[in-house]
C-alpha cells in the first residue's frame, strides 16, 4: 500500500492545521477539524477492515454508521500536526450502532479524537441533510472574530449585516449569513445539538465568547469561510471606535449578491 502520509487528504489536513496555527486561530490545543473521507480515497493507503481499537463517542450517530473521518485529537496542538501527524490525527470509522468509533490509523501515543467530536458528528449529520457534498467541520478561535463578540450584539442579523458591510466579498462568500449562539459550556452534547440546529441554516456558527464553527465541501472552503469572516471582523475592530464616513449600503449589498447570483438572506437587509 502507498504511504498514508502522502495521501492528498492527509497533506491537505496537515497544511490546513499549520495555516490555522500560523494565523493565530488555534492556540495551544484549541480548535478541531473533521474531514469526511470516502472508501475510495482511503483504500490505496489503508486496510479499512483492520481496527486498532474501539473508542466510545458519547453520542449515538447511527445515521453516520460506517462513515470514515480524519479527525484532530484531543489535547493535541495544531502546531505539531504537520511534523507529527501520526500522533496528532486519527482516521476513524463510526460503528454500526453509531455509539463508538473504530480507530483505523493514528494516535499512536494512545490518544483519541477531539472532545468536540459529538458536536462535529451532529453538525456533519445536519449539513449532509442540507448538502450531501458537505465533508468538513472546522472549529477555531480567530482573534478578531472573538474580540468582536465582546463589543457587538450577538444577534444573527446584526452580526451578519455588520460583517457584510466590512468587505465587498462578504455577502458573496457567506450569503447565507452567520448563526450565533450565546456562551455555552463547550465539550457537551448540548452545545453540539445547538450548533447542529444552526447548521441546518448556516455554514458558519459563532460560539459566543469562544470561537466559530465552519462547514464546507472541502478543507479550503471551510477555511476560506472562516478566513473571510475573520478579515471582516478585523476591519470592524480596527474601525468600530472611529466615525463611519463611508459604508456599503443595503441596496448595494443586494445588487452585489444578485450580480453574483448567490442566494442571500434578504431578511438580513433592512432596505
- Return the CATH number at 108: 3.40.225.10
Question: Is there a single domain that holds both residue 19 and residue 138?
Answer: no
- Among residues 116, 156, 221, 227, which one is catalytic? 116
Mean pLDDT in residue range 90-118: 95
Mean pLDDT in residue range 33-49: 96
Structurally, the chain folds into a number of domains equal to 2
Range of the domain at 223: 116-271
Prediction pTM value: 0.95
pLDDT band per the 50, 70, 90 thresholds, residue 102: very high
Q: Are the CB atoms for 34 and 94 separated by under 8 Å?
A: no
pLDDT band per the 50, 70, 90 thresholds, residue 271: low
Mean pLDDT in residue range 155-165: 98
pLDDT band per the 50, 70, 90 thresholds, residue 1: confident
Question: Is there a single domain that holds both residue 123 and residue 245?
Answer: yes
Question: Is there a single domain that holds both residue 120 and residue 240?
Answer: yes
Q: List pLDDT tens digits, range 231-248.
A: 999 999 999 999 999 999
Boundary residue ending a domain (58, 88, 115): 115
Question: Is there a single domain that holds both residue 79 and residue 184?
Answer: no
What residues contact residue 115 under an 8 Å CB cut-off, 6+ apart? 74, 187
Q: Looking at residue 187, what is its pLDDT? A: 85
Mean pLDDT in residue range 177-194: 94
Question: Does 258 participate in catalysis according to the annotation?
Answer: no
CB atoms within 10 A of CB 143: 15
**Average pLDDT over the chain, rounded to an integer:** 96
Give the pairing type, strands 100-106 and 89-94: antiparallel
Give me the residues paired with residue 138 across strands. 33, 214
Amino acid at each position: 500500500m502507498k504511504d498514508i502520509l502522502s495521501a492528498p487528504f492527509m497533506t491537505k489536513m496537515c497544511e490546513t492545521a499549520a495555516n490555522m496555527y500560523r494565523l493565530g486561530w488555534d492556540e495551544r490545543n484549541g480548535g478541531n477539524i473533521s474531514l469526511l473521507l470516502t472508501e475510495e480515497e482511503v483504500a490505496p493507503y489503508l486496510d479499512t477492515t483492520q481496527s486498532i481499537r474501539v473508542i466510545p463517542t458519547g453520542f449515538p450517530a447511527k445515521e453516520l454508521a460506517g462513515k470514515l473521518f480524519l479527525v484532530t485529537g484531543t489535547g493535541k496542538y495544531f502546531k505539531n500536526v504537520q511534523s507529527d501527524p501520526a500522533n496528532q490525527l486519527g482516521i476513524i470509522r463510526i460503528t454500526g450502532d453509531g455509539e463508538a468509533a473504530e480507530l483505523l490509523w493514528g494516535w499512536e501515543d494512545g490518544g483519541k479524537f477531539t472532545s468536540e467530536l459529538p458536536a462535529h458528528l451532529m453538525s456533519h449529520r445536519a449539513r449532509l441533510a442540507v448538502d450531501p457534498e458537505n465533508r468538513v467541520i472546522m472549529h477555531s478561535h480567530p482573534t478578531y472574530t472573538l474580540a468582536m463578540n465582546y463589543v457587538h450584539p450577538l444577534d444573527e442579523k446584526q452580526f451578519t449585516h455588520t460583517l457584510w458591510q466590512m468587505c465587498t466579498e462578504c455577502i458573496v462568500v457567506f450569503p447565507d449569513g452567520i448563526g450565533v449562539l450565546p456562551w455555552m459550556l463547550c465539550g457537551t452534547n448540548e452545545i453540539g445539538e445547538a450548533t447542529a440546529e444552526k447548521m441546518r441554516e448556516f455554514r458558519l456558527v459563532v460560539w459566543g465568547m469562544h470561537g466559530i464553527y465552519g462547514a464546507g465541501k472541502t478543507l479550503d472552503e471551510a477555511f476560506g469561510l472562516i478566513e473571510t469572516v475573520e478579515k471582516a471582523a478585523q476591519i470592524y475592530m480596527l474601525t468600530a471606535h472611529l466615525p463611519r464616513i463611508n459604508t456599503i449600503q443595503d441596496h448595494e449589498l443586494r445588487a452585489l449578491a444578485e450580480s453574483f447570483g448567490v442566494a442571500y438572506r434578504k431578511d438580513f437587509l433592512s432596505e
